[in-house]
Amino acid sequence: MELGRTVIICVALISFLVVCKATKLNPVILVPGDGGSQFKAKLNKPTTVASYCIKKTDYYYDLWLNLEQLVPFLIDCFVDNMRLVYDNKTRTTHNSPGVDIVIPGFGDTETVEWLDHSRLSLTTYFHNIAEGLVSIGYIRNKTLKGAPFDFRKAPNELKEYLKNLKTLVEETYYSNGNTQVVLLGHSMGNPITLYLLNQMPKQWKNKFIKSFISLAGVWGGAMKPIRLMISGDNLNIPIVKSKNVRIEQRSMPSTAWLMPSDEFWGPDEVMVVAPTRNYTLKDYKQLFKDINYETGWMMWEDTHKLLNPLRAPGVEVHCLHGVNVSTPGVFVYDNKTWHDGFPTTIPDEGDGTVNIRSLLGCQRFKTQQQQPVYHKTFNGAEHMQILNRPDVIDHVKNILLGKS
Ligand SMILES: *[C@@H]1O[C@H](CO)[C@@H](O)[C@H](O)[C@H]1NC(C)=O
Ligand SMILES: *[C@@H]1O[C@H](CO)[C@@H](O)[C@H](O)[C@H]1NC(C)=O
Ligand SMILES: *[C@@H]1O[C@H](CO)[C@@H](O)[C@H](O)[C@H]1NC(C)=O
Ligand SMILES: *[C@@H]1O[C@H](CO)[C@@H](O)[C@H](O)[C@H]1NC(C)=O
Ligand SMILES: *[C@@H]1O[C@H](CO)[C@@H](O)[C@H](O)[C@H]1NC(C)=O
């Protein structure tokens, strides 16, 4: 009799503990980076760049990412649908004429786990991290959320999104029994998250935010966007001409926003070597003039102060990034490649996309805030591959389980 009762009490206690532990998981919101959200488009275009481009659709189709569109010749149609048009009076951008774009799936994880609807493994984004979190008890669309956005734009044009993200944090907190939320960003998702946290009052952050986990954060810009502006990047698809995709790449204010910051690069450091002159950070205006893209200068003017000076988020930070991957440092153009061809590159240290000094920017938060800032590097974790590395995923799980 006595024994039976003890057993029952123990079982009750154990299940009570299990329940306690399960409810202790802090919900997570995934904030993707540049290229990390799906786009759907519906067309009713006045003109197309080529006769074989589709002019009108009655339905929304997958614009990004859609591997079928990235084949030569179709890519020109894609570029024309994806590009933004800058209005130099209002200093804002809008979609290419006759292109209606929606970013599907806000709040859920599906459209940030996979970039392509077909779920080809090639286009996995947050999927492996999501699977890792599900394995420790997370539930998609309940304790695990996603916040896709129009990654072509910088925060000055993302007011609606930032408002929705704030609301998503609050809703996620309340719908999980007043449990604080973890924001998990990748790449440009980190400066976006930081921008939101910088705007929010201390009381809001103390109430709603548990911590900010940053993967491969771009804290002070990177060199790669400079190449996107000057000559474009063919995304390593040999048959694609950089110059053709450049139209879209340089039309994104986010590209201007992610150019190297003067808090991280010195005024006399040569960034671009051209046949007749060199360019440093002080020469951005001249650089845009010389490449015949003065819109780029205006976009830089619109965006460069958004996170400069870099200010701590005022919440607990876990800053994780790769090291030891060759990363573009300086671009060298000769008479033949300036400025429509592909430059040679003098390598720098980093994660393959972001230069090390920018990745390390989170360390500056340590002296700016009381909340802890944890920093961990992963040898050889390339900018995109960091999302799939088992050691990184294990570390994220440990943070969320309170073991790290
Ligand atoms: C603004 O755009 C208009 C139309 O594209 C152009 O004619 C004008 O030169 C531009 N102004 C500036 C200051 O770039
Ligand atoms: C996710 O949750 C929201 C609200 O809780 C709901 O409206 C939506 O249908 C859910 N999505 C899926 C795919 O279950
Ligand atoms: C440009 O920079 C390179 C490397 O720093 C240097 O060797 C070269 O002399 C510079 N050229 C000019 C025109 O200043
Ligand atoms: C490149 O062009 C510049 C200016 O036109 C000229 O002075 C220079 O000699 C050229 N260099 C080469 C290697 O052809
Ligand atoms: C970079 O890689 C080398 C060789 O793989 C290794 O010895 C070194 O410790 C690595 N550096 C860092 C910072 O991880």
Taking the CA of 356 as reference, the closest ligand is 5
Atom of ligand 4 nearest to the CA of 335: 1
pLDDT of residue 10: 44
Question: What separation in angstroms does the CA of 140 have from each of 21, 181, 284?
Answer: 18, 14, 44
**pTM attached to this predicted model:** 0.93
108-113: long-range contacts, CB 8 A cutoff, minimum separation 24: 108/140, 108/141, 108/145, 108/146, 109/30, 109/140, 109/141, 109/144, 109/145, 109/146, 110/140, 110/146, 111/37, 111/38, 111/146, 111/148, 112/30, 112/32, 112/36, 112/37, 112/146, 112/147, 112/148, 113/146
Query: Ligand 3 centre from 329 Cα, in Å?
Result: 15
Q: Report which protein residue has its CA nearest ligand 1's atom 13.
A: 88
Q: Report which protein residue has its CA nearest ligand 1's atom 6.
A: 88
At residue 43, the 3 state secondary structure works out as: strand
Q: Residue 172 and residue 178: Cα distance in Å, rounded?
A: 8
pLDDT of residue 3: 45
Average pLDDT over residues 347-360: 98
Which token pair is 100? 């209606």
Which of 270, 271, 281 for a ligand 3 pocket mutation test, highest count of atoms within 8 Å of Cβ?
270
Is residue 364 over pLDDT 90?
A: yes
Query: Ligand 4 centre from 276 Cα, in Å?
Result: 7
Q: Where does the pLDDT of residue 71 fall: very low under 50, low under 70, confident under 90, or very high at 90 and above? A: confident
Is residue 1 over pLDDT 70?
A: no
Which of 84, 86, 88, 91 for a ligand 1 pocket mutation test, highest count of atoms within 8 Å of Cβ?
88
Is residue 153 over pLDDT 90?
A: yes
For residue 277 and ligand 4, the question of a CB distance below 6 A is answered with no
pLDDT of residue 7: 44
Query: Is 239 in contact with 249 (CB distance < 8 Å)?
Result: no
Question: Rounded mean pLDDT of the chain?
Answer: 93
Which token pair is 249? 């790449």
What percent of the chain stands above pLDDT 70? 94
Atom of ligand 2 nearest to the CA of 108: 1
pLDDT of residue 2: 46
pLDDT of residue 120: 77
Query: Ligand 3 centre from 284 Cα, in Å?
Result: 17
pLDDT of residue 23: 52
Count H helices and E strands in the chain, helices first. 14, 15
Is residue 6 over pLDDT 50?
A: no
Query: Ligand 4 centre from 278 Cα, in Å?
Result: 14
Tens of pLDDT, residue by residue over 38-67, are 999 999 999 999 999 999 999 999 999 887
Atom of ligand 3 nearest to the CA of 270: 5
Catalytic residue ranges? 187, 351, 383
Tens of pLDDT, residue by residue over 240-279, are 788 889 999 999 999 999 999 999 999 999 999 999 999 9
Taking the CA of 381 as reference, the closest ligand is 5
Is residue 307 over pLDDT 60?
A: yes
- Buried residues in 84-102 as b, exposed as e (16+ CB within 10 A): bebeeeeeebebbeebebe
Tens of pLDDT, residue by residue over 108-149, are 999 999 998 777 777 899 999 999 999 999 999 999 999 999
Q: For the chain, list the domains and their CATH numbers.
A: 26-37+105-400 (3.40.50.1820)
Q: Report which protein residue has its CA nearest ligand 2's atom 13.
A: 108
Q: Residue 14 and residue 326: Cα distance in Å, rounded?
A: 51
Chain centroid to CA 259: 14
pLDDT of residue 15: 52
CB neighbour list of residue 96: distance below 8 Å, 6 or more residues apart:
45, 80, 81, 82, 83, 84, 85
Q: Where does the pLDDT of residue 4 fall: very low under 50, low under 70, confident under 90, or very high at 90 and above? A: very low
Is residue 18 over pLDDT 60?
A: no
